[in-house]
Structure 1
Amino acid sequence: MNIDEPIYTFEPETPAPEKKPGVKAITWAYRLALLLLLFGVSSLTYGSDQTSPVLSAVSNIAGLVAATMLFVGYFDYPSPYKLVAWVLSLALFGLVLESLHTYNLYFYSFFVIKRLAYCGLALLTFVVARRAGTLKLGWAVMIVGALYFYGQILLGKILEYSLTSESRSTSAYESFYLMLPLLFFLMQYLEKNRLIDFLGFLGTFGLIVLLLHRSVISSAVFGVAVVAGLSMMGKLPGNSRLPIGRTASTLFILALLIVPFVAALSPKKVDAFLENIGGIAKPTEDNTGNWRLEQSIYYWSQIPDRPWLGWRYEGYDRGEIMVNEDFPEKGTIIHSQYIDMLYNYGIAGLGLNLFVIFCTLWMIYSRNRKFTFEQTVLFAFITSGLLFGISYQLPIYYWGYVGLGLYYGFKPAEQPVADLNTINIDHQTDMYPMHVQDQWPNSTNHL
């Protein structure tokens, strides 16, 4: 045997490609949970069917999940949210003890418990979002558009609409979802000055007006005003600006194109439509607005009797003062978020809700010298909900976006890749405070 003969090693001619680390199954589970928190608790996902038994079950589960998972990811919460977790858990435990003491039942009415627990979904969403990775708002806008296309076009619900408040094919909660694409296209236009984005903004605003939910119309105007205010304070990202000349000329051309179509409509329908829009300023002269006003006045008169902790189970037993087929015996749906909280849970309950919202807004505002694209959209969306809550209870999914807003409020802006030869590497980390760098995990996951 020739010992000098080279040994054959069975090595391939080309090296095997390196396996890139994939997304773990647990990450996909968190992504699914995030989508459920943001979209699964709205009738928009179920073909705009507000009576869907699946939606009813999901709404109950959402309240249960919010109540039982307040301390999941507790150490990830910013300090104010840790306080919320303790106060809310004690409040829910107190409702259970009251039920046991008064009615000899642990859960005399889960309806009373879950509606106080909904704000806890903001805490849960914050934790889930950190583990799911970045949710691109463009995908959220596409989901909203797809759900509208399915419910209104494929199911034909828009064919039932005749420009009157009695024939509306969407609920106010579903229409409020349109705030996301509205603000998204507005920010795209301010950043990139593309005509297609401006048309997307106008089209979304036109759809909001067409669907005739005056609370959403008011919220849309307010949301745009919030973006304008942030612009004047120098908070908008990058070189965001409004091209006045292009905007004015586009509006003028569109007005010329739209006038013939409006003239072709029935004058009676146009007058009725404009009269409904006018109900924003004069609710007492409008049927539905007058109904909500009458309800609010009555329940407002009951609040001084129990101002701090509200009526809770006694209020549930008293039922609705007006005819409501959803609650023939007990329970009530008060349109206003603020009056509902004050009546059922008092100043303490309303204060807890508002603390979650304002804490999130303050975190976004105070921690970021300039907002990112996502921070601006979510800040305006959350703020517009404060106006929406005057006329309607806040949608369950709204709390998910509050938590998502906090996630983005803590998330450092992604920086462009630069030439390392031209940068003093020792100072690259000075852009963000050390406490931000220490507590924000390095994640490249994108949903």
Structure 2
Amino acid sequence: MSALFAISLATAAILAIVVLIAYFRLNPFIVLFTTSLALALAAGMPADKVVKSFEEGAGHVLGHVGTVIALGTMLGKMLAESGGADRIALTISSWAGRSRVDWAMMVIGLLIGLPVFFEVGFVLLIPLAFVLAARTDTPLLRVALPMGAALSVTHAMIPPHPATLLALSAYHANTGHTIFLGILIGTPIAIIAGPLYARFIAPRVPLTEENPLAEQFVNREPPKNMPGFGITVFTILSPVVLMLIASIADRVSAPGTSLNTALHFVGNTDIALVLAVILSFYVLGLARGFSRDTILKFTNECLGPTALIMLLVGAGGGFGRELVDSGVSKVITDTALDFNVPILVLGWLLAVIVRVACGSATVAMSTASSIAGPILLKSHGVSPELMVLVTGAGSVAFGPMNDAGFWQIKEYLGLTVPQTIKTWCVIETLIAFLGLGFCLMASMVI
């Protein structure tokens, strides 16, 4: 297979995904599935292996991330129903003061965004944005946009978010190092794309339309029996702490010892999250007066909306596996190495392309990392942790209209499509390009 044919085939597949999803409005899962099969057949892959390859790719990704998605969603649900999110928001905003409520919402977004998807975190926090904007007489965009920017940065760059865990696995990166670098690089990105840009753009985007959602949420009272601030933050951050402990286990204990094994076990992503969820059942559930039946109801009903997310994540993994098994990925890999395309830039570009194609940042990150992962194995001197971050940055680029987040921002904030492009799409693009720039600078010293 020639390099020109392989690149043309991959380009045609990605363009087909863009057109079928964005223009013809077809189901993204069906598009990813059929396009993956067509690509493999066109590459000369035997027909009896095409479907098996897709199933193995989808199964590998879902086997790793399905549990994480489910547990993160449950933790987010307990946070919402107990009033834990309200407690964090009200406490941090009271510390920050009226003039810095936008900075407070950025911090809240970074905290709440750790265990949940962007869409879940946004729905969780937007009522608080409406309330704080009304009670502090602050323009809504100055409050809501920093929150959205922080949620997006967390989604893309900081474990244990499911999207970053996919890339961690593909690049064989160290979880603790990735968390540290994600916070170090992600925080200034959230500041620039959040409070700083929001203060610039808010006066230039007047909200003229009536927003019935704002009236509904402004009149909403927080739960009376909210959990304490300390225990709520401890519950949210507990999986992160456990993963950090596991990342330094070999430094504080001898490999193979019982202590070392125990530290690695509790710091495993799935174990850390399930322990946090179990903890939340008590401190955010039973201790708040919820019955066991009510907690069961919460954990069951919150999983329904994740079905499509899981399908799309699996399809992204299947698409990446078809590229590998058909030989297309290897040809592109060898060509990229021959032309000395910087691996950080390549990982970022792949994520951007898939992001525009299917809209989902999680699918973009899983697909791009599955393609760039084999290339990284042949590269030397490139930090796997920076590859996770740069791929995540590219996965949120442009905030396209085929992304659910675009329409969430538009509808909740009462924006027009052009106003959403001026605000949200610019924020997502800032995150993507700042992430690339900061990672390239960091690569000079790491």
Larger-gyration structure (1/2)? 1
Q: What TM-score, normalized to structure 2?
A: 0.26
Q: What TM-score, normalized to structure 1?
A: 0.26
Higher helix share: 2
